[in-house]
Structure 1
Amino acid sequence: MYEIDALDRKIIRQLRLNSRISNVDLGKEVGLSASACLRRIALMEKAGIIKGYTALIDVLGEEAIAVIIQITLERQTEEYLNRFEAAVRKYPEIRECFLMTGGSDYLLRIDVESAGAFERIHKEILSVLPGVLRINSSFSIRNVLSARQK
């Protein structure tokens, strides 16, 4: 098992801010040579600490309104959970989906440009997801903190 240390944490922090940073620039940021950074990254990838890289797409820009949606299913059986999760994966409009403890079964996040856009998503996507008993939506006023912000 790979044990991460303070340098690995610095590397991870920088990769979370910009996964496309060059090894030369990464080395400067964390105080290592480019080749040492590359070795550490390879070890963390092999150990499964770094699971992959992704592109965060923001087609709506500053006008985006984040909508947080609590979903309660009719039942919490494995069959219901699996059907719901498979259906959610089919819709790129759903940016994030979390299985939750507490008052609701799932927490979803979508981004919309208007209430009308949300109405379409509610009607065409959310209301047809399998096994849904209740949908509770909240609109964000503004983003105060995000791990995805620079």
Structure 2
Amino acid sequence: MANYIPDATDRKILEILQTNATIPNIELADKVCLSPSPCSRRVKNLRDEGFLRQAVTLLEPAKIGLPVSVFIQVTLNHQVKSDLEMFENTVNEWPEVMECYLMTGDFDYLIRVVVPDLQTYQRFLDDKLTQVPGIDHIKSSFSIKQVRYKTELPLDFMPR
């Protein structure tokens, strides 16, 4: 299926699965007006084509003792491929790093970490982040309140 373009039914399936990845196939099929077998085939096709990355359960950070989100801007000394790869490989090893983006603009990376408290963040900074060779500048910002967080992507921009 080269260049597979989901149709309206596929988009509806994607929409539903984004909000409830554990929906039983029979219920999903009913919601998209298909019988279970073709619905299951469509879900498999969407998975095989890479539209479905993974199914997860989202945990409430504060309930599991991780109420502090810190956004960190990191600037490297040199923006060469080997330094970028080394930094990315290192950051990918740290469980407290939830997101990491290579950026354009005034800094090279934007990282979001979750920690239980400021002391733990200080240890993360001292024992991990500042130990990475090639970092020129680190700037941390602490989240006061999460105004919006969602995992569902807008499907309005999918090719038709």
Please tell me the TM-score bracket, short chain as reference: 0.7 to 0.9
Corresponding residue for residue 8 of structure 2:
6
- The separation in 2 between residues aligned to 1:73 and 1:58, in whole angstroms, is 33
Q: CA deviation at 1:41?
A: 1.3
Corresponding residue for residue 30 of structure 2:
28
Corresponding residue for residue 76 of structure 1:
79
Corresponding residue for residue 42 of structure 1:
44
- The separation in 1 between residues aligned to 2:32 and 2:106, in whole angstroms, is 42
Structure 2, gaps ≥5 residues long: 153-160
Alignment of 1:80-91 (within 5 A): 80-91=83-94
Deviation larger for 67-76 or 122-131 = 122-131
Corresponding residue for residue 66 of structure 1:
69
Deviation larger for 46-55 or 92-101 = 46-55
Corresponding residue for residue 114 of structure 2:
111
Q: Structure 1: which 4+ aligned runs deviate by more than 6 Å?
A: none
Q: CA deviation at 1:66?
A: 1.5
| Amino acid across the alignment from 2:115 | V
Q: Is 1:131 aligned with 2:134?
A: yes
Corresponding residue for residue 157 of structure 2:
none
Contact 1:87 1:130 in 2 (8 A): no
Match of 1:101, SS state, is coil
> Could you say if the C-alpha distance between residues 69 and 29 of structure 1 is closer, same or farther in structure 2, counting changes exceeding 3 Å?
farther
- The separation in 2 between residues aligned to 1:140 and 1:31, in whole angstroms, is 43
Match of 1:143, SS state, is coil
Match of 1:66, SS state, is strand
Q: CA deviation at 1:57?
A: 4.9
Q: Structure 2-normalised TM-score?
A: 0.81
Q: What CA RMSD, in Å, does the superposition of the two structures yield over aligned residues?
A: 2.1
